[in-house]
Structure formats: structure tokens, C-alpha cells
Structure 1
Amino acid sequence: MFLDLTLIGLVTTLEPVPIVVFILLLAGERGLFQGLVFTLAWLASIVAVLALTVGLTGGKPLLPHSSPSTAAIAVKLAVGVGLIFVGERKRRRRHRSPDTHRTPAWMARLETASAWTVAGISVIVQPMALVAAGAAVVTEAHVSSLSSYLLLFYFCVLSTASLLTMELWSAFAPERAGHLLHGLRTWIERHQDQAIIVLSLLLGLWLVGKSIDQLVT
């Protein structure tokens, strides 16, 4: 379970679109505040999903080969298949045409967005399918000991690590962070498709393989 949550958390925190949105927020006059709102809304969404999952299961692992257990595995399988589809589709499109990403018009208005709008955008751009996959993994755990709660905390922090890093960096070294984050944004916009292809295919294949193995054993 640790490896599953680690892979899902890494892909969640490295998703290109939320990172670009976050960098744009930090570039505004109220950058640190808006970045904090975005981060807290992002983290709150993950915590809410995990809390709901633990509440529904009572903190006990689902019985193997039961209907709820099969449903949880099906969720992971569906997310894996979806990721493979997205990655392969991006790969084929990229061969037909080069990356020509432009910043959408709504992103240009982020600097003046209200706190509620920023929080809503955070939830919208968050890869909830990955969070759902993480929740499906949690249904296999016995959540009662300190180590199990630390594992959930680890997943939450790892899934938010990129945002926390950029927020803290901007707070303690604003000039250097601003320069380097601008370069990071430019790099992501040039290589967004490649990043999505690699992240989607790797995690998708892992989830599909693991889910099929659980279904047949």
C-alpha cells in the first residue's frame, strides 16, 4: 500500500496544469495569500475524500472478493485505463503536431480572483481521479494505529508537496523564487504533453496491472 500511495501522490503533485496555475497565482500582488488559499483548498479536498473513505469502511480493510472490495479495485482499474487512454491520446496527437500551448484567457485573470474563486479553481484543477484511486487503496488498510494515520498524513503531504514547496520558497526567497518559477512555468508549457504522457502511462500501467492481479488472485 505504501508504494501505491507513493506513486499516486507523486503523480498528483507533479500534474503540470495545477503547477502552472499556482505559479500564476504567486506572481500576483496577493500571491502568497492566494497560493495559501489554493494549497489549503487542495489539501482539504484530499483530506475530505480520505476521511469519507475511512468513515465508510470504519477504518477496517474490505473483505477480499466482496462486492465493496471488487468495487474499490474497479475504481483503480478504471482510473488506470483512463490514464493510459489520456497518455496514449496525447502521444499520438503530439506526433501529428508540435506543442503549441498558450495560456488560457481565464488563467490571465487569476491575479485578481477572489479567495473563494481561487479555492474553487483549486478543486477543479485537482486530479480527483487520482485522489479517488488513493482512496481506493486506503480501503485495503486497517486504519487504527499510529502508523496507519501517519501513512495517510504522508499521502496528503506528498500529494501537496509541490505547492507547499513553491509557497514556502516564495515566502522566504521571493526574488529568487519568482525568477526560477517563471522559468519552470516556461519549461512546463513547452513540455506539458511529454509530462502528461509519461506520468499518465507509468501510473496507468501500474494501476491496471495491480488491479488485474488483485481481481484474479
Structure 2
Amino acid sequence: MGKALGDILGLAAGVAVSPLPIVAIILVLATPQGRLNGPLFTLGWVAGLSALGGVMLAIGGAGGSSAHQQPATWVGVLKLILGILLVLVGIRQWRHRPAGASQAELPKWMAAIDRFSPVKVLGLGIALSAANLKNAPLTLAAAASIGSSGLATGQQIASLAIFVIIGSLGILAPLAVFLFLGDRARNVLGGWKDRAAQHNIAVMAALFFVLGLKLLGDGLGILTS
């Protein structure tokens, strides 16, 4: 189980460092129903990562992802494809980054978060985790690594749970600040939101590129072993 965790910890950290979802949950917490919508957003986030990872584990189990105690060829191909995708997206985002932090713009839908119903907030959490262009490939790659590790089913589930917990730290931190810091939470979260918004594209571009290279290396290592 230790090897599987070693393979996924970096990927989980990459999921946790997600500026846009961090901005989203801070905006959700600032709404009049923040105490309800914040946990709902977090629940959606955790459910999205868990469902996507669980589907990949099931596919891996059905497809024989572990062959002779080594990851199967298709796992290497998957990581190679995901790595190439992330590198290309990272390059594109870096080339199109704003010239200055003051020019960074957030998606227009964020302006309407205060009007989201609880169901929409839950769906937003799911979408920003499972349908995110960075998080989805990282979650699929992590689940493929777990599925190809040869671990028993219970240990695979435990490994995926650890991945989800670490990958959710970026969302859990603002929620904890909101719930436990009282009046000070507004200033703390406001500072976090401003920094995350200003540096969103640059941070994401760097993460795409670095984590894409990691997956490329992993995939090549599997295919050439």
C-alpha cells in the first residue's frame, strides 16, 4: 500500500491546489446561506472525486490493470495520454496568461453564486472536482495507479479515500476557517480569494505542465519496463 500512496500523493496535492474552486467555495461561504451551502459544496467536491476515482478503479479491476505485479500496458498508455493532455493545456494557458495580476478575470458565472440554490451549489462542487480539466486527469491517473498496484479491494478503497482527503484540503481549509474563526474569517478568506484569483492562470499553467511531465514519465516508465 505504501508504493501506491507514494504514486498518488503528488497527484492528490495537485488536485488540492486548485485556485478556481478555492475562490468558488469562498464566494459560496460569503452568501447568506453560507453555513448550508459551504458544506454542500464540499460534499459535492468529495462526491465528484470519489465517484470518478471509483469508476476508474472498477474499470481497472475489470480490465486487469495489474499484470505480473506490474501495471498493465493500458495503464501506461492512459498516463501517457493524460500527461500529454496536461502539458499541452499548461503550455496554452501559460501563453494566454494575463500580462499582470490585475488583469485576471474570473468566470462570469461566479457573479451569480449568491443566487445558486443548494442543489446548484452541490452540483457546482461535483463539476469543479470531477469535470475539472486538471482534476479529472489527475484523479483518473491516481485511480489507475491504485488499481494497478495489486492491492486487495479494501486497501484500494482506503488508498482512494486518502487521495480524496488530500485532494480536498484546498476546499476544507476555507470551510474550517469560516466555521471556526468567526468574525475574523471574512478578512482571512477575502485575502485568500484575492490571491487565488490574481494568480489562478499562472498557477494552473505551472501545475498542468509539471504534473503532465510526471504522468508522461510514469507512462513511459510503464511502457518501457
Instruction: After TM superposition, give the deviation of residue 64 of structure 1 in Å.
Output: 5.5
- Rate the CA distance shift 1:61–1:72 in 2: closer, same or farther, 3 A: closer
RMSD of aligned Cα (Å): 2.5
TM-score, with length taken from structure 1: 0.88
| Matches for 1:10-25 after TM superposition, within 5 Å | 10-25=13-28
Letter in 1 for 2:147: T
127-136 vs 24-33, greater mean Cα deviation: 127-136
Q: Following the alignment from structure 1 to structure 2, what is the Cα–Cα distance between the partners of residues 46 and 104?
A: 22
Partner of 1:165: 173
Counting matched residue pairs gives 215
Can you list the C-alpha shifts for 1:49-107, whole angstroms capped at 9, x where unaligned?
Answer: 333333340697521699x932222222122111111221222233x843422233311
Instruction: After TM superposition, give the deviation of residue 209 of structure 1 in Å.
Output: 0.9
Letter in 1 for 2:7: D
Q: Following the alignment from structure 2 to structure 1, what is the Cα–Cα distance between the partners of residues 73 and 117?
A: 42
Can you list the C-alpha shifts for 1:92-131, whole angstroms capped at 9, x where unaligned?
Answer: 233x843422233311111121121112222222222221
Q: Following the alignment from structure 1 to structure 2, what is the Cα–Cα distance between the partners of residues 62 and 78?
A: 19
Note if contact 2:79-2:215 (Cα within 8 Å) is conserved in structure 1: yes
Note if contact 1:59-1:141 (Cα within 8 Å) is conserved in structure 2: no
**2:140 aligned residue (128, 132, 146):** 132
Partner of 2:58: 55
Q: Following the alignment from structure 2 to structure 1, what is the Cα–Cα distance between the partners of residues 139 and 148?
A: 15
- Give unpaired runs (5+ residues) of structure 2: 130-134
Instruction: After TM superposition, give the deviation of residue 162 of structure 1 in Å.
Output: 1.5
Letter in 2 for 1:208: L
**1:110 aligned residue (89, 109, 113):** 113
Can you list the C-alpha shifts for 1:19-74, whole angstroms capped at 9, x where unaligned?
Answer: 111111011111121111111111112222333333340697521699x9322222
Instruction: After TM superposition, give the deviation of residue 178 of structure 1 in Å.
Output: 1.8
Q: Following the alignment from structure 1 to structure 2, what is the Cα–Cα distance between the partners of residues 103 and 93?
A: 14
Note if contact 2:48-2:125 (Cα within 8 Å) is conserved in structure 1: no
136-145 vs 186-195, greater mean Cα deviation: 136-145
- Give unpaired runs (5+ residues) of structure 1: none
Instruction: After TM superposition, give the deviation of residue 198 of structure 1 in Å.
Output: 1.9
- Rate the CA distance shift 1:103–1:51 in 2: closer, same or farther, 3 A: closer
Structure 1 position 151 matched with structure 2 position 153: no
1:116 is paired with a residue of what secondary structure? helix
Structure 1 position 5 matched with structure 2 position 8: yes
Partner of 2:80: 77
Structure 1 position 212 matched with structure 2 position 220: yes
Q: Following the alignment from structure 2 to structure 1, what is the Cα–Cα distance between the partners of residues 153 and 109?
A: 44
Structure 1 position 195 matched with structure 2 position 197: no
**2:183 aligned residue (170, 175, 197):** 175
Letter in 2 for 1:10: A
Q: Following the alignment from structure 1 to structure 2, what is the Cα–Cα distance between the partners of residues 159 and 212?
A: 25
Instruction: After TM superposition, give the deviation of residue 145 of structure 1 in Å.
Output: 7.0
TM-score, with length taken from structure 2: 0.85
2:26 is paired with a residue of what secondary structure? helix
